[in-house]
Structure formats: structure tokens, C-alpha cells
Amino acid sequence: MSAARYELPPTPAIAGVNERAVIDSFKAHVAHFVAEAWGDVDPAKVFAGVDTGKKGADLSVAIPRFKKGKPDEWAKQVVDKFTPNNYISALEVQGAFLLFQLNKPSFTYHQLKQIDAMSRGAAANPESHTEAYGTSTEGGGKHLLVDFSSPNIAKPFHAGHLRSTIIGAVICNLHEASGWKVTRLNYLGDWGTQYGLLSIGFDRYGSEEKLKADPIKHLFDVYVKINAEKEEETKKFNAGEITDADSTTHAAAKRVFKAMEDGDEKALAQWRRFRDLSIEKLVETYARLNVHFDVYWGESKVSPESMQRAIDICQEKKLTVFEDNGALLVDLTKFKLDRAIIRKADGTTIYLTRDLGGAYDKYVTHKFDHHIIITAAAQTLHFKQLNKTLDLMEEPYAGKIEHITFGMVKGMSTRKGTVVFLDDILEDATEVMHEQMKSNEAKYAQVENPKETSAIIGSTAVKIQDMSGKRINDYTFNIKRCTSFEGDFGPFIQYSHVRLCSVQRKNPNVTVRDIDDIDIGVLDDPKIHEVLYHLALYPDAVAAAHKFREPSTLVTWCFRLSHLVGSAWETIKVAGAPQHEAEARLFLFVQIRSVLASAMRMLSLTPIERM
């Protein structure tokens, strides 16, 4: 079966057309055709105004957007010149709108051909992030540094860190899929007086065995005990029961941290061990989320010289004022950003000072073209102060740092009650999925590694619940709802991929042929067109998710595709169909599976084949 019958007439180039999105070629043809019919309109402007999925048409143009006067007169000029071709099969006028229907066999052929070709290219070049359908080279190899997750050593990996991790991983993937070189950086909370307190606590309550088994949990337990002891001492000191302030745990913690700051090797060795063991555990936890980092950095890595440099520049440029108590502040009141401390009265640095110095260190080390930092919305003022201060300091990277925010998670708990550790949440989700998988004994027996599979579905459930709504929105964590197979939750997306995988597995006698060797005509079904049309919009969904830093855009796209496939499932069968129909349908399902898997990986999910 020759491709000649679906050959598309040449269309002059238009700025803004994405050659990696077939539907853009059809939109470009409509734009040229309408512009020619009117005679005095720029085709590029018309192209920008060709809408998809409106008014019940494949493509539509709102006449008043380009022409004043009576829409029906302008519409008649277009209708009079219309002749069906391999781009457009029909044109209809509805009020002030021109409605175009795609030539479905031609569109089907070219859409499937593009997906197939790009999927093959991605499979042949697994190290490339810009071969798969939906990707682009727009970034041109520019360097993006993304700072996300940022948990504290020896403290629980709380819901805010989880959100930052999930959103950050997707933003990294979206940028790589748009041609950026991405460096993933984890800025750990790994410095401060609390680590002096932790060191004392470990000397009193620590266990080497428990430290090696689960460093983060054990250090947290130690910290809780020593902190309670410190609080009790404070009460006694305030009541006059303790009179020597230097003998308190708090004072001892300050001395240990001072020794750390002064480079005392014994104090630093203990801290370094806690940090290294905690990172090892974090790497394991991140692996459960299908997330990785290129650099583990942190507060401890910001050089004192860089912080002092920031203070010196602020003073040289007369950006600072002194408070009565001797603290040094950057005055940002005329920018409605209040005043921000950069050096406390006792001469020590603070959060903003570390971020000013850290920005310089990161730029010197990584030479980024753009830098994204992902934290909770509560830190918005801080990062506005940071960016404005860098701008006033006239740093070369001022304006290149972007703060992405997210809402809060409420009620994060397992079925057994409130917890503080992410591993507990993931384990609980895994158990729920495992129980559900075991309910179908026949299918369960076919899964090679049911525990690993249930862990993947469990993490999918947790992540999709987080990404289903706009990132700025708060949401209530619900382990029961997010692990449900009924409704728009993570397991539904995995289930859809598994069903698509099963088609080829269950039809071993049907060959996946080349696009030019299948009968495109048998794919002329309204439900198939709905699926293909949605696949055609995937590059736009990726671009929108990238532009607005919004993972929910892709999640919504995946749910819609899963519903469309589910709707077509009962009527578009491969098993029992005549051979030529079976081959065409199998080719279709293979391409759908390929794009869904690509979208899932973009969302940092691991597509599974059985469940």
C-alpha cells in the first residue's frame, strides 16, 4: 500500500510551525488557504489563530479575529475557493467561525508515521532526550540548574520536600525533552547549631548498628531525645533550678557547632559521617520515586568568602542599613519587599546571606544559563528579596534565577495514622497495591516480580495524586483514594499502559508491520480518530507543561488518553479481526502505547507491562 495516495501538497514555510507535530502541517495549510482567500492577511498570524478542538471541528478560525465587518461575507470568500484535498476534507461555516475537518485517512497515516519514526529514533538513541515524539530541540543545549527536594539531614522527609521532589523531577524532564542540558542539584539542610546538638545526642543515645541500618530515622530519634532533654533543661534554667548556663546541653551544642565552623576535625568527622550516611539513604528513597540527582550540595558547602563577598558588595553599593542592635540589613522597602537581614548582630550569617553566597558559588561552578529553585509558596518573599538583591548587586546571573512555588499538603498519613517518613508512605502504598494485585490470582501469577511491581504502582499513586491539580493548589493527602483503580488516579494510568502492552502479547500471530504495509482505510472509525487527534495534541501538551512549569497539564493529557483508549477498547479489537484489520489495529495500539509510555516517563513514572 503506497504512501502516494496520502501525499500532502507542499505548503510555504510559516514561522512557528512545529515540524515535529503533524497537526501543525494541517494548521499551516489552513492558514495559507484562508490568507490567500482574503488576500491581505499574514499567514503566520492566521496560523496562530487556528484553534484545535473547538466548535466540534478538528480545526477552526474565528473570522472577527482577523476581519471587521460581516463574517458571512468573509466566510463566503473562503468557501468559494475551497476544494477538498489530503489536508482538509470539508469546510463548514458556523456563525463567525470557519470549521475545517481533517482528511481522516491522510491525517491518520501521517500522524501514525511520525509517531512510529520518532519512537524508533528514540529506541535507537536511548541516551538522547530529544528523539521521542513530543520532544523538541528548542533549548539548543543551554544549561539549566534545578535546585529541588532539599530535605534536612536527620529530620523527616516531609510533604513539602515530597512535592518539591516530584515537581522538580518533572520540570527537569520537560527541559531535557526541550533540548536543555539539565543539572539536578539537591541543596541539603546540613549545617547549623542543630548539628552540634545532634552530635551530643548521638554520644548519649546513639547506636552504631541503628545508624547504619537507617541513618535518617535513627538520627531523627536521637534528635528528638536530645531536643527534649534540652527543652527540659531550659525550663529548669528559667525556674532557677539550673544556674550555670554553660553547663546546659544548649551551650554544649553551640560549642560543638563553633568547633565545626572553626574546622575542628573531630567535630567535622562526626558531622560528615551523619551527612554521608544520610545521603546514602536518601539515594535509596529517591530511587523508589524514580528520581536522581547529579549533585548533593547544601548549606555547608556555601563558602564563607562568597557570603562575605555578598555583604561587601551590598555595603559598597550602599544597599545596607544598620539596626540599633547592630544587625546589617538590605533595605528593599522602596520595592515593597521590606528590609532583609544579611548579618545578625553577633556577626553570624543568615538564610539570605547563604543564598546570596550560594548563588555566586553555583554560578561559578555550573555556569548556568538559567537556574530554577523549587520550594513552598511560603518562601516567596525570601526569593523575591534574593532576586532583587542580586539585581541591585549587578551580578551577571541576576534575572536568571526563577523561583517555582507549590501549595501545601494536608493530612499526610498512612492507614495506621500520622507518619513523618516518606518511606512509610511509599511502603503503605506498596502494600495496598500488592493486596489488590493478589485479588486476581491468575494475573498475579503472571507478574514476574509482584513486590517490585506493586512498589512502582504505589509510587505512581502517590506522585499522580500530587500532580493531578495545579501545583500552586493545596491538597489533602489520602492514601485510600490515591491507590484506587476506580477514577482518575495513578493506578488507572498504569492499568491503561498494561492493557496496551497486552494487545501485542495476546496476539502473537499478528505482525507489527511498517506503516506503508498496513491498510489505513480500516482505521476509519470515530473512536480511533478521537484517539489520534488527542495524540496529535501531545507536543502542545508537553510545550505547555514546560512553559508554565505545570506537571498537571501532562497528567490531564494522560488521563484523557486513557479514557479514550478505554472507550475504543470494546469495538476496536485485534483478536478475531481479519488479518489486514488486525495488523492495522495492532500498529495503532503499539503507537498509542509508545506515546503513553513516553508521557509517563516525562512524569518520572516507570511504565509497567503486567499488573
Distance, in Å, from the CA atom of 121 to the CA atom of 116, rounded to the nearest integer, reads: 9
HEC profile for 165-234?
A: HHHHHHHHHHHHCCCCEEEEEEEEECCCHHHHHHHHHHHHHCCHHHHHHCHHHHHHHHHHHHHHHHHHHH
Give me the catalytic one of 129, 161, 463, 534: 161
Active site residue 161: yes
Say if residue 477 is exposed, middle or buried (CB neighbours under 10 Å; 0-12, 13-18, 19+).
Answer: middle
CA 96 to chain centre: 39
Q: Which of 158, 181, 366, 563 is catalytic?
A: 158
CA angle 178, 146, 550 (to 5 degrees): 60
Sign of the C-alpha dihedral, residues 606, 294, 552, 425?
positive
List Cβ neighbours of 604 (8 Å cut-off, separation of 6 or more). Answer: 166, 169, 170, 173, 289, 290, 291, 463
Active site residue 158: yes
What nine digits make up the cell of 220?
531523627
CA distance 220 to 223: 5
| CA dist 215 → 20, 203, 421, 584, 610 (Å) | 48, 15, 12, 55, 34
Q: Strand, coil or helix: what is 146? A: strand
Find out whether 135 and 20 touch, Cβ atoms under 8 Å: yes
Q: Determine the Cα–Cα distance for residues 24 and 15; give it in Å rounded to an integer.
A: 11
155 classed as catalytic: yes
In the beta sheet, which residues pair with residue 373?
Answer: 147, 403
Residue of 155, 175, 250, 546 marked active site:
155
Give catalytic residues, as residue numbers.
155, 158, 161
